[in-house]
Structure 1
Amino acid sequence: MEHRHSTATGTLPQVEELGLGERLRRFVRRRARAGWMRTRSSAGHAALTTIAAVAAYWFAEAVLGHEGPLFAATATLVGLGWGREPKLRRVLEVSVGCTLGILIGDALMLGLGRGMWQAAIVLFVSIMAARFLDSGPIFTTQMSLQAVLVVLLPAPADGPFSRSLDAVVGACCALIVTFLRPHRTQRSTAKRLQALYDPMVSILRDLSTALRTQESSTAWMALITGRGTQSVLDELRREVQMAREVTTYSPLERRQKGFVTVVAYAVDRSDLAIRSLRIVARRVVSLIDSGSLTDEAAEALSSWFDEAADAVQILNRCFDEPTPAGRRQGRLDAREALGAAASRLHPTHLGGGSLHGEALVMLLRPMMVDLLEATGADHEEAVGYLPGV
C-alpha cells in the first residue's frame, strides 16, 4: 500500500529517504552533468580568449620587442573574463583598471623602489585612485592587483613602463574581440523570451483545466508557476540590456537594433501581463474554493483560457522567426489571435451573470491589452479590441 502525506493542495506519495551512498552517487552525477554542460557552452569563448591572449603576447614580443610580456596576455584574459557574453562596460572597467594599475605601479616604483613597504604604499594609493575614478568593484580589484604585482615582480629588462605598454596591448586585444565577435543577438533574445511565454501558456492551460475540473489545486500550481517567472523576467531584462549594448557598439550586430527595440517593448508589456495573470490565478483559486461560478460560466471561462493560451503561443513563435518580414507577420498573426480572445471579454456574457465571474473577466481585460501592446499595437488599438461595457 502506498503511503501518502497531506499538503496544502492535496496529498503526495511518501518518498523514502535515500541512503548516503545513493545520495552521493546522485550528487556526483548532477555535478558531472552540470560540469559537462558548462564545458560545452564555454568551448567557443575559451578558444577565442586563448587566441586573443596569445595574439597579445605575440604582438608585444615580436612587434614591440618586449621580453616575456606577461601583462599583455594577463590584460586580455582579465578583460574578456568568463561571463556568458563580454559586456563593453565590464571589459573597459577591467582593461582600464588593469592598465592604470600597472602604470601606477611602474611610476611609484621609480621613486620608491621595490619591497614590502613600497608594495603597501602602492596598493593603498591604487585602491584610493580606483575609488576616486570609478565605483565599480571590478575596476578597483584589477587596478590594485596589477599595481602590487608590478612592485613585487622583478623589474623588466625593457624598462619600467614596458609593462604598462604590454597592458595597453592586452586591453586593446580584449576590446577588439568584444567589438568583432558574433553575438547571435536575435537567437539568444528569442530564447529568453520563450522562457517567459512558455510558463505563461502553461499557466493559462492550467487555469483552463482547473475551471473545467473544479480543482483549485491545479489553479494553485498555476499561481506558483506565475510567481516563479519573476527570476525569468529579471534575466530577460538583463538580456535586453546586453543586447542593446551589443547592437550599439558591434558592427556585426547593428542590423539587429530594430529587433532589440521591439523585444524591449514586448518585455515591458509582457511583464505587466504576467503580473496581472498572477492576480487572475489567485482569483481563480478563490472562486473554485468558494464555488462562486456556475457550471456554464466555468466552462465558458475554461474555453477562453485555452483560446488565450493558443494566442500567446503564436506571440511566442513570432520572435523566433529568422527574417524581419517573418517576425512582422508573426506579430500581426499574434495580434489577430489575441484580439479575437480579447473581443470575448464582456463581463456579463463571459462571466455568466454572476458578480464573481464578471470581476474575473474585468481582471483579464488589462492583461490582454498589455499582450496586444506586446505585439506592437498602440494603446488605443489594443483597447479597441475589448467589447464595450
Structure 2
Amino acid sequence: MAADRPFPHLPAVLPKLTLAERLRLVRGRWRLLVRLAGATALAYAFSTHVLGHEQAFFAPVAAVVVLLGGVGLRHRMLVDLILGVAIGVLVTEGLIHVIGRGTWQLALVVVLVTASAVFSGLKGVALTQAANSGVLLTAIVPVVGAANPAVTRFADSLVGGLAALVLLVLFPRNARRDLDLEVRPLLASLQGVLTTLAESMRNADPAAAQAALTRARGLQGKINSAITTAANAREAANLSPTRWRQREDIERYTVVLGDIDNAIRDARVLARRVGTMMRLGENPGAHLAAAVDGLAEGVGVFQDVLADPGERARAEKALINSVKIAMDALTDEMTLNRAAVAAQVRSLAADVLFAGGMTRDELDVRLRF
C-alpha cells in the first residue's frame, strides 16, 4: 500500500525483485566487482607508494569513473577525464595566483573554469571533472611541504584511468556469451509477440492484439540494453588479447542487433495495424494470420542461426513463405488495412533476413511476388 511507503508521492522506481533474483544479479556482475576492487587498490597504491602522494584519493575515484561511466567508450572516457582535469587545473591555478582563495574566489573559479571547458568543447565527464578540479584546488589549502595539488590531481587522474584499463584487460567479459544471453531471449520474446498476434487475428480478438502491442513496446528497453552490451563487448574484445578471437562474432552480433531493432519496431506497427483492422470490423482472415505465424516460425529458427549458420536456409524459407502468403492474401479482399498489414509482414521479414546476412539485391529478388 502507498501508505506503507516513506514517500508515497514518489514513484516506485526500483524493480520488484525476489531475493534470489537480486543475488543472481550480483553474481552476474562479479567481473565488475573484481575490476573495481583491483583498479581502486592499484591506483591508490601506485599514487601513494610510488608517486608519494599523501592524499591520493582522486586516483581510485578516477578508476571508478572510467569503469562505471564509460560503457563501451572507456578509451574516450579516460581522455575526457584527463582533458577535464587539465583544463580545470590550468585555469584554476592561474586564477588562484591572481585572486587567491576564499568564498567569492571559489564561486568565480567555478564559473570561469566551467565556461572555459564549455568554450573548449568539453561535455559530460570532462566538464564535470573540470569544475571539480576548480572546486578542490580552490577549497583545499596545500599543506606546507606537500606536493603541488595541481600536479598530483593530474597525475592521479592518469593513474586511476590506466589502472581501470589494466583491470579490463586482465578480467574481460566473455563478450560472445554475454551477447548470446541477451539476443536469444530477445528473439524468443519477438517470436512470442508474433505468435500472440497471429492468434488474435485467427480469433478476431482486438484485446489480444493490444496485448501483443504492449509486449512489443516492452522489448525496446531490452534491445537498448543489448546494444549497450554489444558496445561493451566490442571494447572488451579489442582490449584483451584473450578475447581477440571473438571480434568477428561481436561485429556480427552488432549488425544483427540493428536489424532486430528494426524488426521489433515493425512488430509494433504490425500489431497497431491489426488492432485497427479489428476495431473497424475488418476480419484479418486465415491467410494473414498464417503469414504472421510464418514470421514467428522464421524468427524462432533464426535464434538457431546465431549459433549454427547452417540453419540459415530454414529460417529464410519460413520468412519468405510468410511474405508470399501475405501477398496472396491480398487477392481475397483488398483494403487499405490489409495492404498495410501485408507490407509490414514483408518489412519485418526483410529485417530478419538482413540480420541473417542476405543482401538488399538478394532480398529484392527473393521477395518479388
- Name 1:370's counterpart in structure 2: 351
Compared CA separation, residues 99 and 51, structure 1 to 2 (3 A):
farther
- Name 1:139's counterpart in structure 2: 126
Query: Partners of 2:29 and 2:278 in 1: how far apart?
Result: 48
Query: Partners of 1:89 and 1:19 in 2: how far apart?
Result: 44
Query: Partners of 2:122 and 2:231 in 1: how far apart?
Result: 20
2:159 aligned residue (147, 169, 182): 169
Report whether the alignment pairs 1:123 with 2:105: no
Query: Partners of 1:235 and 1:117 in 2: how far apart?
Result: 45
| Contact 1:247–1:254 (CA under 8 A) maintained in structure 2 | yes
Q: C-alpha displacement at 1:55, in angstroms? A: 1.2
Q: C-alpha displacement at 1:312, in angstroms? A: 0.3
1:159 aligned residue (141, 147, 152): 147
Compared CA separation, residues 125 and 279, structure 1 to 2 (3 A):
closer
Report whether the alignment pairs 1:219 with 2:191: no
Structure 1 SS opposite 2:16: helix
Amino acid across the alignment from 1:206: T
Q: C-alpha displacement at 1:205, in angstroms? A: 0.7
Amino acid across the alignment from 1:145: N
* Deviations 1:137-175, CA, capped at 9 Å, x for gaps: 321111211232123224153421344333332232234
Query: Partners of 2:152 and 2:268 in 1: how far apart?
Result: 60
* Deviations 1:50-77, CA, capped at 9 Å, x for gaps: 2212212211222223334333233323
1:65 aligned residue (52, 58, 83): 52
| Contact 1:331–1:375 (CA under 8 A) maintained in structure 2 | yes
Q: C-alpha displacement at 1:87, in angstroms? A: 3.3
Q: C-alpha displacement at 1:377, in angstroms? A: 0.6
Amino acid across the alignment from 2:60: A
Which runs of 5 or more structure 2 residues have no equivalent in the other structure?
Answer: none
TM-score by length of 2: 0.79
More deviation in 58-67 or 355-364?
355-364
Compared CA separation, residues 71 and 215, structure 1 to 2 (3 A):
closer
Which residues of 2 match residues 295-334 of structure 1 at below 5 A?
A: 298-319=285-306, 321=307, 326=308, 328-334=309-315
- Name 2:75's counterpart in structure 1: 88
Compared CA separation, residues 273 and 30, structure 1 to 2 (3 A):
closer
| Contact 1:342–1:385 (CA under 8 A) maintained in structure 2 | no
Structure 2 SS opposite 1:355: coil
Q: C-alpha displacement at 1:267, in angstroms? A: 2.9
- Name 1:353's counterpart in structure 2: 332
TM-score by length of 1: 0.76
Which residues of 2 match residues 26-41 of structure 1 at below 5 A?
A: 30=16, 33=19, 39-41=26-28
- Name 1:339's counterpart in structure 2: 320
Amino acid across the alignment from 1:80: L
Amino acid across the alignment from 2:187: Y
Query: Partners of 2:147 and 2:94 in 1: how far apart?
Result: 11
Query: Partners of 1:261 and 1:154 in 2: how far apart?
Result: 50
Q: C-alpha displacement at 1:260, in angstroms? A: 3.3
Query: Partners of 2:33 and 2:345 in 1: how far apart?
Result: 48
More deviation in 119-128 or 368-377?
119-128
Alignment coverage as a number of residue pairs: 359
| Contact 1:104–1:126 (CA under 8 A) maintained in structure 2 | yes
Compared CA separation, residues 195 and 92, structure 1 to 2 (3 A):
farther
More deviation in 310-319 or 167-176?
167-176
Query: Partners of 1:109 and 1:35 in 2: how far apart?
Result: 49
Q: C-alpha displacement at 1:204, in angstroms? A: 1.3
Structure 1 SS opposite 2:38: helix
Compute the RMSD of aligned alpha carbons. 3.7
Which runs of 5 or more structure 1 residues have no equivalent in the other structure?
Answer: 1-17
Q: C-alpha displacement at 1:40, in angstroms? A: 4.5
Amino acid across the alignment from 2:128: T
Query: Partners of 2:86 and 2:30 in 1: how far apart?
Result: 27
Query: Partners of 2:314 and 2:188 in 1: how far apart?
Result: 18
Compared CA separation, residues 21 and 239, structure 1 to 2 (3 A):
closer
Query: Partners of 1:243 and 1:70 in 2: how far apart?
Result: 30
Query: Partners of 1:374 and 1:241 in 2: how far apart?
Result: 18
Query: Partners of 1:97 and 1:236 in 2: how far apart?
Result: 30
Query: Partners of 1:83 and 1:37 in 2: how far apart?
Result: 24
Amino acid across the alignment from 1:334: A
Query: Partners of 1:283 and 1:29 in 2: how far apart?
Result: 32
Structure 2 SS opposite 1:228: helix
| Contact 1:127–1:144 (CA under 8 A) maintained in structure 2 | yes
| Contact 1:99–1:167 (CA under 8 A) maintained in structure 2 | no
Query: Partners of 1:82 and 1:61 in 2: how far apart?
Result: 24
Compared CA separation, residues 366 and 77, structure 1 to 2 (3 A):
closer
Compared CA separation, residues 311 and 21, structure 1 to 2 (3 A):
same
- Name 1:380's counterpart in structure 2: 361
* Deviations 1:348-368, CA, capped at 9 Å, x for gaps: xx4562224962434422332
Query: Partners of 1:103 and 1:37 in 2: how far apart?
Result: 46
Amino acid across the alignment from 1:217: A
| Contact 2:175–2:234 (CA under 8 A) maintained in structure 1 | no
Compared CA separation, residues 248 and 129, structure 1 to 2 (3 A):
farther
More deviation in 66-75 or 27-36?
27-36
